[in-house]
Each structure stands twice: as C-alpha cells, then as structure tokens.
Amino acid sequence: MHLQTETERLKLRPLNSQDSEFILKLVNTQGWLKYIGDRNIVTIEDADRYIQNIIDNPSCYYHVFENKNTGDKMGIVTFIYRNTQEFPDIGFAMLPEFENHGFATEACQHYLSLIENNLGLKKIIALVLPENKKSIRLIEKMGLRYEQSTTENNQTLQVFSKNIL
C-alpha cells in the first residue's frame, strides 16, 4: 500500500532513494539497534542498497513521516507481509529527538485506519520484543492486543493483533 497522505501535523509518503541520510541515521539509533537489530548499514551506499531492497520487495511498504511545518523526517511506519506470519505486520521506528510528542501515535493510527478501510484484511499484527515497553504501549493505543509469543530468528517476540473484518 504505497500512498501519500497527511494528518494534522504530519505528511506520510513512501520511502524513496532520497532518504538515504535519514535511513542511515535511523537504523543506527540506540532504539533501532536494541529492538530491531543491526542491519550493518554504516555508509550512504549501504543505506541506498537497503532502501532499494525495500522498494523492490512487493511485500514490504515503508512510509516516512515528516513534520508538515518543518519538513523534518521523523520516523517510518512499515507494513510487511512476512513469509513467517499468516497476517501482515504493522511496525514503526522514530528518531529519538522526536519522541514523546505523539508523532508516532498519530502516524501509526492514521496509517492503520487506511489499512482497515482499504485493504479488506481480516487481521493485522505487530511483532515486538517483550522488553520494548514504549512500542507495546503504542501498539495497544492502536487497538492491537497481545495474542501469543513466537520465535523468529532465535528471538522470542510478542504478537499483538487486531481483527479488522
């Protein structure tokens, strides 16, 4: 679901090749490294390849959210159809300097409402490490509820879900 859309304070748009510096910074934040994992992206060229892999993957949608007033790139909302899961997964990440102002909540809730109203899905999930309490709070604000634990890549993850239809 590639789209451009807006909320009261944000613009959401598909990730593109002009986002390399932003992605390089985001994937090397402490939160990303701790809760999502090291993607070994240390140069702009690495970021370019990472972005191109996402763009080329028809099961993977990344949207950058930006401040409408300043144009600052603040974070991403992701929507991924994983081979290991029956239902698609919504996710998010944000630069730490923009946290605690409700931007991620605004972006994710808006994006989830578009998914619910346009894709005809039965269910959506979110996968999260149990110790990632901030993300769990946002996931629960979006109306997803804990369903079960699962193991992927030798990590225990909590699966939160929301029935749509």
Query: Domain residues for 81?
Result: 5-122
Q: Which of 73, 72, 90 is nearest to 81 (CA)?
A: 90
Which comes out higher in pLDDT, residue 1 or 7? 7
Q: Tell whether 103 is covered by a domain.
A: yes
Q: What is the layout of strands, in order, in the sheet containing 155-163?
A: 5-6, 10-14, 60-67, 73-80, 89-94, 123-128, 155-163, 145-152
For residue 8, the 8-state DSSP code is S
User: Cα separations (Å) of 76 from 1, 112, 120, 136, 148?
Assistant: 14, 13, 23, 16, 25
Q: Is 153 exposed, middle or buried (0-12, 13-18, 19+ CB in 10 A)?
A: exposed
pTM of the shown model: 0.92
Classify residue 101: in a domain, yes or no: yes
- What is the rounded average pLDDT for all residues in the chain? 94
Judged against a pLDDT cut of 90, whether residue 55 lies above it is answered with yes
The helix (run of H) or strand (run of E) holding residue 112 is helix 103-118
**Is residue 34 in some structural domain?**
yes
- The answer to whether residue 146 sits within a structural domain is no
98-156: pLDDT as tens digits: 999 999 999 999 999 988 887 888 999 999 999 999 999 999 999 999 999 998 888 89
Q: Are strands 155-163 and 73-80 parallel, antiparallel or unpaired?
A: unpaired
Q: For the chain, how many structural domains are there in total?
A: 1
CATH of the domain at 72: 3.40.630.30
Distance of CA 125 to the CA centre of its chain: 12
